[in-house]
A and B are shown apart, each in its own frame.
Chain A
């Protein structure tokens, strides 16, 4: 797997794509495309952070929205309460990182020593708790309706913001690539493949899982910041299950455990969301576009657990590069129930 990506040709390809995207706004001036692409980049960050958990460590979180929401609300509240200046924005970013790290650490420590069900359930419940908090703590969050806010100067221009989102995505991608190829990342993948063996090799599995959960949570928070800034508005929807589901769909459809898959998945979901919503004028069934994705998602989990990128890799290299991420990860831990 490392070979695929340390492969120079692949890196050059990524660079060309990134460069192409970077010059795009100067050549093709379409406001709606820029906004849509910015959304893709933001959700790509979220999906990549999710991939660290699901694809690289083999743990399922159903509360990823809470980190996303913490980021979105933190920046919103800071911009609303204080002046929309760069210094406060940076402060908001710092607070987000701190908050998401603390929350993901606590949640991880509580549940990661138990079976995977517990993490999925507890994160889901915690995300629900944050949703309730955002609804009830009206003095700060303005309840269900949310609030609009102004953003610092350097984030106002759509093109600049587009470039910032693109840069964030590229930076996160490179960082996570390094992270997953580091010895630490290797241990995480070992946990995914066989938790018992990793444990008996002397690694403290819990600590590694908690690290993965913190890294993933912080990055999701950053995606949340970008999301709130892109809308200049935040409401309780950032804490809903839909956000988690988006991340999940993107990662699964794109391909788990590949990072690129998360980006591709984000592109596919966001673009089809856009187009299918347009199609809703033609036939009402497209209003419920998510149902198509739900079905594709179920089929993907059953038949293509490696997603688009994973399946392509397998095709390209002809031999089994790696066993698909979610498969097998826990087949062994059956015995301890």
Chain B
């Protein structure tokens, strides 16, 4: 039982990190029809800049804020200069965002060196609680809490605010939104910024969780995030959280019981979803 609970917590924490990455991907895809292959790069940049700020200022909170700001700035730059020129052309979009991914992860190596950097948890988040026989590692609980908070915040933003309404309408029919006099370009930029900020936050949180950060982690997590986006349904925000938790849990359980098949299980899940429900398990539209 203890094992089950600790595995579930572990899976939930990983799932939340993947969610932070996948949510941006799926929102951007739903609204702009752009699959951002550079999203993993934003994730890694968030991790590096966040950890760098954290180690130089000593404050974890400032590190997190710095990571989010860095991610948002990168997101805006990406949207303006890289993706905007190729809107409406899928092949070029895929190619160009992959190129950006390449440049982003190489830039990381130029700025911070090719070796991996270690990251520590701040004092107030290290250690664990003991509830009965179950040991709950504080930092994992923290990640889960942050993940859910972000989910609720974005859900609130989407469901209750004006801009959220516009975004949801844009996902359904962007031409209509535009013809109603709303500057869809600004909305695109806003969503891209939010998505990039979430990815950067995820990267930053991963640092102390895994202990080290390295330039290729963007790619590794991006693959998981793609799986989540497919399973959850492209463009479905609430689908992405469910799918992320699913993938996180299956990852942690498989890693414990059949470690060699951990990634294979998720891949298989994705293949099955693609065959039988290409619109995703929770998605409404294809």
Q: Let me know if B263 and A285 touch, CB within 8 A.
A: no
Contact of A142 with B by CB under 8 A:
no
Write out the residue numbers on chain B whose beta carbons fall within 8 Å of the beta carbon of A117. 29, 35, 90, 94, 234
Q: Say if the beta carbon of A290 comes within 8 Å of chain B.
A: yes
Interface code A294-337, partner B: CB below 8 Å = 1, 0 otherwise? 11011001100100000000000000000000111111011001
Residue on B nearest A242 in the bound complex, by CB: B102
| Complex: A132 Cα to B223 Cα, angstroms | 13
Instruction: Report whether A122 and B270 are in contact in the complex, using a CB–CB cutoff of 8 Å.
Output: yes
Residues on A with beta carbons closer than 8 Å to the beta carbon of B33: 334, 337
Q: Is the CB of B110 within 8 A of A285?
A: yes
- Say if the beta carbon of A90 comes within 8 Å of chain B: no
Q: For this complex, into which size category does the number of interface residues on chain B fall?
A: 35 or more
The answer to whether A116 touches B106, judged by C-beta atoms less than 8 angstroms apart, is no
Contacting pair A301 B86 (CB below 8 A) = yes
> Do A290 and B95 have beta carbons less than 8 Å apart?
no
**Chain B positions within 8 Å of A330 at CB level:** 89-91
Majority secondary structure of chain A interface residues (helix, strand, loop or mixed): helix
Q: How far is the CA of A241 from the CA of B216 in the complex (A)?
A: 11
Could you tell me if B95 and A121 are in contact, using CB atoms closer than 8 angstroms?
Answer: no
Bitwise, A102-144 to B at CB < 8 A (1) or not (0) is 0000000011001111101110111011001100100000000
Within residues 14 to 34 of chain B, which ones have a CB less than 8 A from any CB in chain A? 29, 33
The smallest C-beta distance from A96 to any residue of chain B, in angstroms, reads: 22
> Is residue B85 within 8 Å, beta carbon to beta carbon, of the partner chain?
yes
Q: Choose among A59, A128, A288 the residue that contacts B223 (Cβ–Cβ < 8 A).
A: A128
**B96 CB–A CB distance under 8 Å:** yes
Chain A: minimal CB distance from B115 (Å)? 13
CB pair A302 B86 closer than 8 Å: yes
Contact B223 A114 (CB under 8 A): no
Q: What 7 pairs between A and B have smallest CB-CB spacing?
A: A294-B103, A291-B106, A294-B102, A326-B91, A330-B90, A298-B99, A117-B35
Contact with A along B26-62 (1 / 0, CB 8 A): 0001000101010000000000000000000000000
Residues A118 and B264 in contact, CB atoms below 8 Å apart: no
Instruction: State in angstroms the CA–CA spacing of A331 and B270 once bound together.
Output: 27
Contact A120 B35 (CB under 8 A): yes
> How far in angstroms is the closest Cβ of chain A from B228?
11
In the complex, whether A248 has a CB less than 8 A from a CB of chain B is yes
- Which residue of A110, A115, A298 is within 8 Å of B100 (Cβ)? A298
User: What B residues does A297 contact at CB under 8 A?
Assistant: 99, 102
Q: Are B278 and A118 in contact (CB under 8 A)?
A: yes
Q: Which residues of A contact B86 (CB under 8 A)?
A: 301-302
Distance of B230 from chain A, by nearest CB (Å) = 7
Q: Which residue of A lies closest to B222 (CB)?
A: A124
* A residues less than 8 Å from B255 (CB atoms): none
22 pairs from A and B in contact (CB 8 Å cutoff) = A62-B37, A114-B278, A114-B286, A116-B94, A120-B37, A122-B270, A124-B223, A124-B226, A128-B267, A129-B264, A248-B98, A288-B106, A291-B102, A291-B106, A298-B99, A301-B96, A301-B99, A330-B91, A331-B88, A334-B33, A334-B88, A337-B285
B125 within 8 A of A: no
The answer to whether the Cβ of A60 comes within 8 Å of any Cβ in the partner chain is yes
Report the Cα distance A328→B109, complex, angstroms.
Answer: 35
Is there a chain B Cβ closer than 8 Å to A223's Cβ?
no
Interface residue? A70 (CB, 8 A): no
* Bound Cα distance A60, B99 (Å): 13
Measured between alpha carbons, how far is A267 from B90 in the docked complex, in Å? Answer: 28
Give chain A residues whose Cβ lies under 8 Å from the Cβ of B264: 129, 132-133
Closest chain A residue, CB of each to CB of B268: A129
Task: Select which of B92, B234, B285 is within 8 A of A327 by beta carbon.
Answer: B92
From 2 to 42 in chain A, residues with beta carbon under 8 angstroms from any chain B beta carbon are none
Chain A residue with the shortest CB-CB distance to B279: A114
